[in-house]
Chains A and B, each alone.
Chain A
């Protein structure tokens, strides 16, 4: 069973003058259990719309979505989901502990079990020392961490993290990344929306790139980034004499040595290429009616 599955999920909005704007266009994608899936895309590509549809904050115009096999239209489906919003949308007059307690109570937790959970989560996100401080006095990094704590309070199997490191300084960003990896180690499934592509590359098992509400590229991070027309040996303890023998062997095999370094591309490069390729497809007049081809790693 998939943690998330969408089938032809579509969302239309009405703009001024009642013009129809496509927010999400027949999206089909699935997140497997216990994987970290990165949902990428430029601003306005449909990432937040996807999250809101999964959380039941929007009603789909067409199609459907499930969480662990249960329709997202049912409120009970959210017992398995923890959500960290893009910005810290919390009550700033509550303290850190009160915030986690408030969300715990909303999930039906009470008494000693809740208090233990509050302390455990504040320790996990490193905010134990600030538990009685009001959120109004928290830094952006601390707010994101308290956001993670509230998302985890009811022990959800799935976490939806919308820009978890947005506006956070590099150190805070690394801390959050480490937390995500820790959560993956705890068996959580994570859907991560982010613009920080290096971070996505570090933590995600698979990625999907959304553009104009469509999935333009999807796959396993390692295979998407690998250049299949080239081959790379990673060796240890190879001295200069041995290296020369390897170079000679490559020439003898009729091959050409391109580089001796790491030939992998970056996710940032892949992302930009995908978006630009889709832009070209969309703006070229002769191709306007042709469906957009998904770029493959080989083509890139």
Chain B
């Protein structure tokens, strides 16, 4: 005789519990500290490489720091996520968790949420260092500009130079660029989690994620190049790659920010929606595979 019992609905409470624990778990791993500290040092060191004029100096810091945030964000996402599921399976810590009334989807999404929170915190920390560096440089350049402008024979007024400096350091486009770096890291995280549901080793996962990451950056260029190609095979291949691999170069606003171009909010919103869509598809596939996986 079967009893009629209430269904166990999806719970954000359980997801949050797993997510919070995942954060603690990753924070305790050495690779995280190494990558984070290295990323922060790289951003901070951009100040010492920049031996140019005031405008060039700020451009260099912005370019260098945004690139460092992109690379270290992606690295932490790849390495951290690649280990999440294999570690649970290897240490079998997943057994007592799934032996509780926990849906597998909650477990997997909890793992993603934990890693996503950590990534956002990491990017926030790197952004704070970057912003601090910009403000420090701004302060120094403003002082230097004031001294130069007050010198006899100065062609540009101190106010004018200050305006140019502030225009570059207080550029709201910086926030848009950092926001899309965060979204890109989340896509990498979701793809890595998807691979870990069927990958046989962490190394395989990391290598696959790196290949997808590189393909994602080359995709737009290759698509452009293939437009002129008459071969249906090449065009078909590009279509398949474009379907399965997200165009990660679309998330790179560093060049536009450095050049001081206007970045419409609509473009940022559309790119973010595109990224979230890809991440959602990757997570849905990961859940489908994980549901059938024998632990």
Contacts and interface: CB of A to CB of B under 8 A. Distances in A.
Interface in B23-77: 24-25, 28
A108 B25 contact: no
Interface in A83-138: 83, 85, 87, 89-91, 93-94, 102-103, 105-108, 110
Contact of B3 (A55, A58, A69, A151): A69
Nearest to B98: A57
Contacts, number: 93
Given A93-B25, A105-B17, A69 B95 contact: no
B294 A57 contact: yes
Interface stretch (A33-41, A70-78, A167-175): A70-78
Contact of B102 (A69, A74, A75, A147): A75
Interface in B121-177: none
Interface string A51-73: 01001111100000010111100
B2 A55 contact: no
A211 interface: no
B93 interface: yes
B217 interface: no
B93 A91 contact: yes
A150 interface: yes
A75 B99 contact: no
Contacts of B17: 102, 105-106
Contact of B2 (A70, A76, A103): A70
A89 B93 contact: yes
Interface of B: 1-3, 5-8, 11, 13-14, 17-18, 21, 24-25, 28, 91-103, 292, 294-295
29 contacts: A1-B3, A57-B98, A57-B99, A57-B294, A57-B295, A66-B2, A68-B3, A69-B3, A71-B2, A74-B8, A75-B103, A76-B7, A78-B101, A78-B102, A83-B95, A85-B92, A85-B99, A89-B91, A89-B92, A89-B95, A90-B93, A90-B96, A103-B96, A103-B97, A103-B100, A105-B14, A108-B14, A151-B96, A154-B100
Given A55-B95, A69-B1, A107-B101, 18 more contacts: A1-B1, A55-B98, A57-B98, A57-B99, A57-B295, A70-B5, A74-B8, A76-B7, A89-B92, A89-B93, A90-B93, A91-B25, A93-B24, A93-B25, A105-B17, A106-B100, A106-B102, A108-B101
